[in-house]
Amino acid sequence: MKQDPRPLVAHVMYRFDTGGLENGIVNLINHMPAERYRHAVIALTEVTDFRQRIRRDDVQFISLRKAPGHGIWLFPRLYRLFRELRPAIVHSRNLAALEVQLPAWAAGVPVRIHGEHGRDVGDLDGSNRTYQRVRRFYRPFVSYYLALSRDLADYLTDIIRVPGNKVLQVYNGVDSQRFHPGEPDRVAADCPFARPQHWLVGTVGRMQTVKNQPALARAFIRALQIEPALAERARLVMVGDGPLRDECRQLLDAAGVGELAWLPGERSDVDAVMRGLDCFVLPSLAEGISNTILEAMASALPVVATDVGGNADLIAAGETGEIVPPSDDEAMAREIVRLASRPEQARHMGLAGRRRVEQNFSMQAMVERYQDTYDRLLHRPGASQAR
């Protein structure tokens, strides 16, 4: 049987499920030319039905069902797996998957890349000494680092002491064909609100602590206190599932505005949800480069986001949206009031965000950056020599 000449990239993460990191892997595999690389997706825990978003039929999916905690007992299995697959590149993502770099090195994988995509709730500012020590321990086994924001690139070079020539800061890209501006009178299927009589502010994401959706629920309640007339037309949309969903619903019900909010849980039509909004808010406590911000901008929405991670890299404050301090419900509420009270200005900010995505955060630019990095580290023909 003829051996496939395409190099194999093994993408490793903790769990392959709904999320920005995982969505970035889906976009990369779907848009990278199939003749250049093969791909395998390895989850230390589980590969979920999220795999169905990958449109290629030559991708291998592997679940290792790792128990919580450090996975040193998994090293022999990973070693054997890498020896069997013989990947040209192992590309791990975030601290939870960093440990695979050692067995990849032991198995003789030629190129070992580690991506830093964002911070965990246990290390919002990068000051966790234990996490720093873990990253320094595995540093000798990593060939190259990809950081999704300037903040994370600086953390690697300044705190983890990775040589600058081993770190590349690369932005995510967004599918601007799937995510595009909507019609002013359209909402997502099943949405109980109507446009243009209602002005919809919303968010999309896993409802977990680091995403901090209760801050948006409180900000929406506060916005209605600041400007009571908004209760006639302002509506809140919170898409996603997780432990914070019930907390958000309870906050809104306790304030007597539960009927002004829609919390449908996880949705597969996020692009349609985005097109049915008038403003997008990201209240996170930590981020790398947020896919949902890029998706909102591609959908021509003004974006209000917290000043964490790479959010300020994406949003041109005052032009495409606004940046507010993290956990500042009052500042978030006042931005919601301002944009809801000036819908035409909000619309122009959204259109400016769409132009910014097309110029700086295209899917093609992201895929070319990753492919060029893979080519260069493997010394493949056509690779750029520029860093």
Q: How far apart are the C-alpha atoms of 88 and 10, rounded to whole Å?
A: 8
- CATH number of the 8-173+362-377 domain: 3.40.50.2000
> In 3-state terms, what secondary structure has residue 317?
strand
Question: 138 near 101, Cβ under 8 Å?
Answer: yes
Q: How far apart are the C-alpha atoms of 148 and 288, rounded to whole Å?
A: 6
Those residues with Cβ within 8 angstroms of residue 140's Cβ, 6 or more apart along the chain or in another chain: none
Those residues with Cβ within 8 angstroms of residue 156's Cβ, 6 or more apart along the chain or in another chain: 116, 135, 145, 147, 162, 167
Those residues with Cβ within 8 angstroms of residue 314's Cβ, 6 or more apart along the chain or in another chain: 289, 290, 293, 294, 297, 303, 305, 361
> Domain 199-360, what architecture?
3-Layer(aba) Sandwich (3.40)
Regions of the chain short of the pLDDT cut 70: 1-2, 382-387
Provide the total of helices (H) and of strands (E) in the chain, helices listed first.
Answer: 13, 13
Q: How far apart are the C-alpha atoms of 33 and 350, rounded to whole Å?
A: 31
Q: How far apart are the C-alpha atoms of 72 and 110, rounded to whole Å?
A: 22
Amino acid of residue 191: C
Structure tokens belonging to residue 28? 């990369």
Structure tokens belonging to residue 199? 């002005």
Q: Which residues are paired to 10 by β-bridges?
A: 40, 90
Structure tokens belonging to residue 212? 């901090």
What's residue 289's pLDDT? 84
CB atoms within 10 A of CB 284: 25
Q: Which residue has the tokens 């909102």?
A: 296
**Full DSSP string of 125-142:** TS--HHHHHHHHHHGGG-
Instruction: Check if 8-173+362-377 and 199-360 are the same fold.
Output: yes
> What are the two backbone dihedrals, phi and then psi, of residue 174, each rounded to the nearest 5 degrees?
-125, 145
**Full DSSP string of 330-378:** HHHHHHHHHHHH-HHHHHHHHHHHHHHHHHH-BHHHHHHHHHHHHHHHT
What's residue 18's pLDDT? 85
Q: How far apart are the C-alpha atoms of 214 and 209, rounded to whole Å?
A: 9
Amino acid of residue 333: A
Q: Provide the whole-model pTM.
A: 0.81
What's residue 118's pLDDT? 86
> What are the two backbone dihedrals, phi and then psi, of residue 279, each rounded to the nearest 5 degrees?
-155, 145
> In 3-state terms, what secondary structure has residue 145?
strand
> What are the two backbone dihedrals, phi and then psi, of residue 172, each rounded to the nearest 5 degrees?
-70, 160
The sign of the CA dihedral 341, 347, 349, 353 is positive
Domain ranges of the chain: 8-173+362-377, 199-360
Structure tokens belonging to residue 258? 């539960």
Q: How far apart are the C-alpha atoms of 139 and 135, rounded to whole Å?
A: 6
Q: Provide the terminal-to-terminal Cα distance of the chain, rounded to the nearest Å.
A: 38
Q: How far apart are the C-alpha atoms of 209 and 310, rounded to whole Å?
A: 18
What's residue 386's pLDDT? 44
Distance, CA of 298 to chain centre: 15
> What are the two backbone dihedrals, phi and then psi, of residue 382, each rounded to the nearest 5 degrees?
90, -5
